[in-house]
């Protein structure tokens, strides 16, 4: 199975309204190579290491787990849960655990 990271990266970047170059530059890449490097990540030719992925996630305001989750519904849940306060996340976790 292919990694979901490239397509998730592209959709999160677009949702944030950034070009590949803008995202790369926000991560500290050189302006003349930022777009090409981000393009390689989005095409799956190269994969960013975990620390780079964490920086990308922070820049795009999504949990880093979103990029690695295989299931689309679970990935969406991860994003939505990531927007909630820690208190609300714990409350939802309590509800989910009580359903077992």
pTM of this structure: 0.88
Mean pLDDT to the nearest integer, 57-81: 95
Per-residue HEC secondary structure of 25-92 comes to HHCCCCHHHHHHHHHHHHHCCCCCCHHHHHHHHHHHCCCHHHHCCCCHHHHHHHHHHHCCCHHHHHHH
pLDDT above 70 (res 1): no
- Tens of pLDDT, residue by residue over 26-63, are 999 999 999 999 999 999 999 999 999 999 999 999 99
Portion of the chain with pLDDT greater than 90, in percent: 95
């Amino acid at each position: 199975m292919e990694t979901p990271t490239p397509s998730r990266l592209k959709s999160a970047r677009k949702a944030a309204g950034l070009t590949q170059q803008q995202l790369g530059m926000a991560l500290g890449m050189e302006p003349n190579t930022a777009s090409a490097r981000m393009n390689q990540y989005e095409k799956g030719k190269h994969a960013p290491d975990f620390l780079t992925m964490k920086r990308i996630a922070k820049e795009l305001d999504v949990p880093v787990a979103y990029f690695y989750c295989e299931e689309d519904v679970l990935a969406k849940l991860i994003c939505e849960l990531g927007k909630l306060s820690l208190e609300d996340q714990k409350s939802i976790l309590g509800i989910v655990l009580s359903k077992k």
